[in-house]
Amino acid sequence: MSAQKSYNLQDSGVLRFPEGFVWGAATAAYQIEGAARDDGRGPSIWDTFSRTPGKVHAGHTGDVACDHYHRYPEDVRIMGDLGLHAYRFSISWPRIQPDGAGPANPRGLDFYDRLVDELQGGGITPIVTLYHWDLPQTLEDRGGWTNRETAERFAEYAAIMYSRLGDRVETWTTLNEPWCSAFLGYASGIHAPGRTEPEVSFAAAHHLLLGHGLAVQALRAAGASQIGITLNLAPVLSDDAEAASIVDGLQNRIFLDPVLRGEYPADVVERAGRFTDWSFVKDGDLEIISQPIDLLGVNYYNPQTVTGRAGEPANPVYPGSEGVAFPGADAPKTAMGWPVQPFGLTDLLVRLSHDYPGTPLIITENGAAFDDVVEDGQVHDVGRLSYLDGHLRAAHAAIEAGVDLRGYLVWSLLDNFEWAEGYRKRFGVVHVDYNTQRRTPKDSALWYREVVRRNGL
Ligand SMILES: OC[C@@H]1[C@@H](O)[C@H](O)[C@@H](O)c2[nH]c(CCc3ccccc3)c[n+]21
């Protein structure tokens, strides 16, 4: 037997990311914190929605989740063990303002103060999301995002958070995925607040963007230097250019254009004309919405595959998409039934750098749900590891093509409350046993630790 030649691949690193590339992980308050009524937290629309029979798998709620509110020191230690540079988390608005307005709840502020200090102590950069879907219920009682005043309340909340954390938090993103808030929450109703009124969903989208713009103004005035927004974006694959353009408009351009170009796409305005007269857009709104930002957060999971089909009814999450069918993709699927198509990430990032040049990009979410099994204290999640590997290669290809990509934050650090799917879908690189709250880094976490260490694959 000839001596086995050993290759120390760790140092030959085939794919290197740029010096200073930011590696991290992401979570969201309602999905991990638990402590839903602790220390003065008020109800959010997800507390209400998850308690509404039939809305969330098996009636799961975020009451306990990963109990991160109490276990954050352990979770920060895990982030350190993985060598993460940054941690993206969201702030629970109803912890800070239980009624969505007025003076801040000091115990709510204290939690995020402690969390940021713990992160700093671990040398981990905090990346704050101000809104990740947990709107204070009292604001929803007044119309929620269909009410323009909610945008003003959001800017006040942003100012409160900056005044408390601005000395230690440099990177702020206003909204996570306004598309989901507007079209899953107010059009299709599959997310909180569960309204099925497509005619008001465009107003909700506009007021979310107005809230973004007013919050950017407030943050900038207070001295914030790195401000962004996170959008869930998807390239649209189709054999029919018209069908592709319709979905690209309703998913991507309806947010990219107002934020980065100061205008709504004309084709979307026209198609949505059957639902709304757009009179909710007031003079000056688009100037506020297109306030310059320093960073665009991109959440990518998979492309959308569509085709033209006469007579096809509109997809409820895309009001105005009559005549477009969603046949699904001929590709491996994750446990969510989402196709694994890493090339879509390269296509998306290159498109963004061409169509919306000048704004640095950061992947604020990318990851996959697979059904995990714990055996001998380990989780051999080869499907997730392979998904992540493929998408990091796709991100690297975009960088090679000239895209200004600053970082990658895996979704998610922990298994957590997966919205309407409850706890049955696991996206974490760290397994959570919800009976014991035991955390177990999966093989994907151990692999990711090496990627971070090597700054490459
Ligand atoms: O579904 C996985 C993650 C969520 O856990 C995050 O909170 C959320 O930011 C997020 N966005 C997306 C893509 C848009 C989407 C969300 C939920 C359901 C269907 C599509 C996937 N994810």
DSSP 313-368: PPPTTSTT-TTEE----SS-B-TTS-B--THHHHHHHHHHHHHSTT--EEEEE---
Percent of the chain with pLDDT over 90: 97
The residue contributing the CA closest to ligand 1 atom 5 is 418
In this model, does residue 414 exceed pLDDT 90?
A: yes
The pTM score is 0.97
C-alpha torsion 177→155→266→325, nearest 10 = 20
Q: What is the pLDDT of residues 291-348, one digit of tens each?
A: 999 999 999 999 999 999 999 999 999 999 999 999 999 999 999 999 999 999 999 9
Q: For residue 1, how far is its CA from the centre of ligand 1 (angstroms)?
A: 51
Testing ligand 1's pocket by substitution, the residue of 419, 421, 426 carrying the most ligand atoms inside 8 A of its CB is 419
Q: Is 419 annotated as contributing to ligand binding?
A: yes
Q: For residue 82, how far is its CA from the centre of ligand 1 (angstroms)?
A: 23
Domain boundaries, the chain: 22-454
pLDDT at 3: 47
How confident is residue 14, by pLDDT bands cut at 50, 70 and 90? confident
Full 3-state SS string of 252-267: HHHHHHHHHHCCCCHH
Q: What is the pLDDT of residues 55-76, one digit of tens each?
A: 999 999 999 999 999 999 999 9
Question: Helix (H, G, I), strand (E, B), or coil: what is residue 442?
Answer: coil
pLDDT at 2: 46
In this model, does residue 6 exceed pLDDT 70?
A: no
What integer is the mean pLDDT of 399-420?
99
Q: What is the pLDDT of residues 145-190, one digit of tens each?
A: 999 999 999 999 999 999 999 999 999 999 999 999 999 999 999 9
Active site residues: 177, 365
CATH architecture of 22-454: Alpha-Beta Barrel (3.20)
What integer is the mean pLDDT of 100-109?
98
In this model, does residue 8 exceed pLDDT 60?
A: no
CB of 177 sitting under 6 A from ligand 1 = yes
In this model, does residue 1 exceed pLDDT 60?
A: no
CB of 365 sitting under 6 A from ligand 1 = yes
The mean pLDDT of the chain is 97
Percent of the chain with pLDDT over 70: 97
In this model, does residue 35 exceed pLDDT 50?
A: yes
Give the Cα separation of 271 and 221 in Å (integer). Answer: 37
Q: For residue 409, how far is its CA from the centre of ligand 1 (angstroms)?
A: 14
Contact yes or no for 129/178 (Cβ under 8 A): no
Structural tokens at position 136: 């204070």
Q: Is 391 annotated as contributing to ligand binding?
A: no
pLDDT at 4: 47
DSSP assignment string, 124-168: -EEEEEEESS--BHHHHTTTGGGSTHHHHHHHHHHHHHHHHHTTT
In this model, does residue 81 exceed pLDDT 70?
A: yes
Q: Is 418 annotated as contributing to ligand binding?
A: yes
pLDDT at 13: 52
Q: For residue 376, how far is its CA from the centre of ligand 1 (angstroms)?
A: 30
What integer is the mean pLDDT of 205-213?
99
Contact yes or no for 99/32 (Cβ under 8 A): no
Contact yes or no for 440/379 (Cβ under 8 A): yes
pLDDT at 10: 46
